Amino acid sequence: MTASSSDLNPEVFEAFRTPAFRRMWPAALFGYIGGSMEMTITSWLVLQLTNSPEKVSFLGVSRLAPTLILGLFLGSLADRYSRRNLILISQALVTLFAALMLFRLSVNAVDAWFVIVQVLFVGVSSTLLFSSWRSYCSDVFSPSQLANAMSLDVVAFRAARMIGPLLGGGLIALVGYAWTYALITTLYLGAFLLMHTVHGDGSYVPRKSAATTKTHMGDAFRVIASNRALGAILLLTLVMNLFGFPYEEMVSVFARDVLRVGSTLYGLLGAGAGLASLLGSLAIASRRVRRQRTLFSLGAVLTMLALVPFALSSRYWASFLLLSLSGLAGAGFDTMQFTILLQAVPPEIRGRMMGITTLAIGMMPVGILALGQLTEALGPQMALALMEGTGVLAALLLLGYFPELLDRT
């Protein structure tokens, strides 16, 4: 342990006592910033190229469809092979795809469909990274330390959601798309090089198995079927991704067409939500959370509830505040989601557990398509208000039906 790490608050920064995490965390931060910038830039670029909210929704579907189609299979790989090596492979692929996009932008050879297809391939790599990264974290830390590690991972994610839109939106205006993508490529490369310095596979050693892929995946489903609380958490995750989170792909439409602002204030809008969620994640990391399921569930409800008035607002700073409140509530949902799921299953099926989680997350493209169609028919404000209001109602029904979603002691 270094001198600087010994001075850290052991409650907030406990995970940094682990040498591997001191390299993993900045690697995650670089990757998250690159991904957040990429989402900001590609959404704005497609909107500028096509002037179509529907095409922006196609972009979101392309980004997330791999989680629904391939998530379970890619998650099973994390139980069969070295999770560290799978992380490196996925990071290398994301860097390669970003470099390709940089080249096409440099020679002015980009159209909307190329962006959508490129984002699809990034989505495949990111889905592999999703399961491998979180499973690897659960191998590095004991169950008592995992909540802190996951909280700090969410801190990195939410810091990126603050920094990425600001950098992306601002740099588009200052230096253009190509130079902005050069920074994204550099960030992805930095994440890969940092992760390459992390050695070992943690506490879990992958085992060769003669079981078929179907049997291998079936084991994980049987664990969920025997645990009502796990099923309820996955259902609420599905509701959040079907109704709650699709708004992220339409913030560019709200910024330009409802709030009437340019790329810089568009970036600031997303950064406000990122900052609020970052502060919430730090607060969670500073405590030993006892009521994990309650924090997870109320975070989901309040995230969607704040987005209803956001959808109806036409004033920039009111929208900024409401989106920030939604981000603050979302910190509880994001942090506890993976902590609860990873703690509830044995190490040998954690990759598949994350793969099954991606099936729920994979409903987001369906929600994005629905939101895009509703936006064409009703306009962005009524469309988003309807989606988020339906999500709040569905979440409350789940809370009523599954008392396991709330801690009773």
Please check whether residue 178 lies inside any domain of the structure.
yes
Q: Are 39 and 248 in contact (CB under 8 A)?
A: yes
How far, in Å, CA of 164 to CA of 158, rounded?
A: 10
In a domain, 388, yes or no: yes
Q: How far is CA 87 from CA 18, 44, 129, 208, 363, in A?
A: 19, 29, 5, 19, 24
* Counted domains in the chain: 1
Give the domain extent around 324: 15-196+212-405
The radius of gyration computed from the CA coordinates of the chain, to the nearest angstrom, equals: 20
Q: What 3-state class would DSSP assign to 329? A: helix
Is 201 inside a domain boundary? no
Contacts of 379 (CB under 8 A, 6+ apart): none
Give CA–CA dist 27/372, Å, rounded. 34
Contact predicate 98/126, CB 8 Å: no
Q: How much is the pLDDT for 336?
A: 84
Cα 403 from Cα 409, distance rounded (Å) = 12
pLDDT in tens, 213-238: 555 566 667 777 777 888 899 999 99
How far is C-alpha 4 from the chain's CA centre? 30
What pTM does this model have? Answer: 0.72
Residue 1 lies in a domain: no
| Residue 3 domain-assigned (yes or no) | no
pLDDT of amino acid 216? 58
pLDDT at position 5: 42
Does 5 fall in a domain?
A: no
Q: Alpha-carbon torsion 350, 356, 360, 362, what sign?
A: positive
- Residue 349 belongs to a domain: yes
- 189-to-20, 118, 235, 254 alpha-carbon distances in Å: 18, 18, 36, 32
pLDDT tens for residues 113-162? 889 888 999 989 988 888 888 888 877 877 767 777 877 888 888 788 77
Query: Which pLDDT score is estimated for 217?
Result: 65
CB of 25 within 8 A of CB of 152? yes
CATH code of residue 166: 1.20.1250.20
Residue 202 lies in a domain: no
Residues of the chain with pLDDT under 70: 1-11, 144, 200-220, 409
Alpha helices (H) in 7-52, listed in sequence order: 19-50
